[in-house]
Structure 1
Amino acid sequence: MKYLVIAALLGVFFSTSTSCANNEKPENGSVAVSADSAKVVYLTKETFKAKVFDYEANKEWKYAGNVPAIVDFYADWCGPCRMLSPVLEDLQKQYGNKLQVYKINTDKEKELAATFGIRSLPTVVFIPLEGQPQAVMGFQPKESLEQIISNVLKVQK
């Protein structure tokens, strides 16, 4: 039941879709994108529950982070995901510690993707500190992502 509630919650915010993803990077570690501490972090089910939302323990959405976040659900074989990856890395570098970009490989974390009803790749979820997450599906240009970061996450460069 709680999985259905969580999937419905995220489903409400999903817009129309396109397809696919990639990133030939490690799944559990993090990849530095600047000399600073701004890093894109790759999540597993367990690290997602610790850093973003413990959906097994909570029925209602409660973000566990201390800065707004972007979660990219991707797959290595997906072309649009490969196009989106450097854009997200650049955004992490630009915004630094004002937000956190996370990536989840849906081929390796199938249960996590299924729990949140991920059916189109890439799916990018924007998580503000307060309020409900919102998601977009398919490749988005950098300008669109910056607008969402400003309007939804309330983060400025």
Structure 2
Amino acid sequence: MHSEEITACSNAQTNHNDKNEKNMTTIELTKADFLKKVADYETNPTEWKYLGDKPALIDFYASWCGPCKMVAPILEELAAEYGDSVAIYKVNTEKEPELSVAFGIRSIPSLLFVPMDGLPQMARGAMSKADFRQAIDEILLHKK
């Protein structure tokens, strides 16, 4: 019986992880991913055209950054809470310096809020979960 319980837990965990990978965790972006999922700034450098199918929040961070480490678990929680309604991406500025230059990232964390319509908005520095929620609701989901 004990092994059946472990198997059941193991299967439940697997299903939970599958769901998380699709909708409920932050997603690391490379430059190639960014060009496909967010905006192809190389092909069209003068005009912003968002390529996603839902609003997005993009966290520009570095592994050594203290405030970035404080923001990371908040973003994971928000990804789980908002599920399919908002994509939450992460860009490691050390691994993707070209993206950092393209978006003028000079301090981290820098957070790019990308609505479906209109231009993206940048916020710099760590934010509280309540501030993130307010920005997501107002900028990305147009809730008052």
* Shorter-chain TM-score range: 0.7 to 0.9
Q: TM-score, normalised by structure 1?
A: 0.76
Question: How has the CA–CA distance of structure 1 residues 110 and 62 changed in structure 2, closer, same or farther, with 3 Å as cutoff?
Answer: same
For 2:36, which of 50, 53, 60 is the aligned residue? 50
1:80 is matched with which residue? 67
Cα deviation, 1:38-66, whole Å, max 9, x if unaligned, reads: 23110111110000000001120010000
Question: How has the CA–CA distance of structure 1 residues 130 and 153 changed in structure 2, closer, same or farther, with 3 Å as cutoff?
Answer: same
For CA contacts below 8 A with separation 6 or more, give which structure has more relative contact order: 1
Cα deviation, 1:96-135, whole Å, max 9, x if unaligned, reads: 0000000000001011101111001000000000000001
Q: TM-score, normalised by structure 2?
A: 0.82
Q: How does 1:109-120 map to 2 (within 5 A)?
A: 109-120=96-107
Counterpart Cα distance in 1 of 2:23 and 2:78: 14
2:7 is matched with which residue? none
Higher helix share: 2
Question: Secondary structure of the equivalent of 1:136?
Answer: strand
Percent of matched pairs sharing the same residue: 45
1:65 is matched with which residue? 52
Cα deviation, 1:73-117, whole Å, max 9, x if unaligned, reads: 000000000000000010000000000000000001011101111
For 1:100, which of 64, 82, 87 is the aligned residue? 87
Counterpart Cα distance in 2 of 1:65 and 1:120: 25
Q: How does 1:11-30 map to 2 (within 5 A)?
A: none
* Rg comparison, structure with higher value: 2
Runs of 4+ in 1 over 6 A off after TM superposition: none
For 2:26, which of 29, 40, 45 is the aligned residue? 40
Question: How has the CA–CA distance of structure 1 residues 112 and 70 changed in structure 2, closer, same or farther, with 3 Å as cutoff?
Answer: same
Amino acid paired to 2:60: F
For 1:140, which of 120, 127, 140 is the aligned residue? 127
Q: Does 1:151 align with 2:124?
A: no
Cα deviation, 1:11-53, whole Å, max 9, x if unaligned, reads: xxxxxxxxxxxxxxxxxxxx87848732311011111000000
1:20 is matched with which residue? none
Q: Which runs of 5+ in 2 are unaligned?
A: 1-16
The answer to whether the Cα contact below 8 Å between 1:32 and 1:38 also exists between their aligned partners in 2 is no
Aligned CA-pair RMSD: 1.8
Counterpart Cα distance in 2 of 1:33 and 1:138: 30
Length, aligned pairs only: 126
The answer to whether the Cα contact below 8 Å between 2:23 and 2:79 also exists between their aligned partners in 1 is no
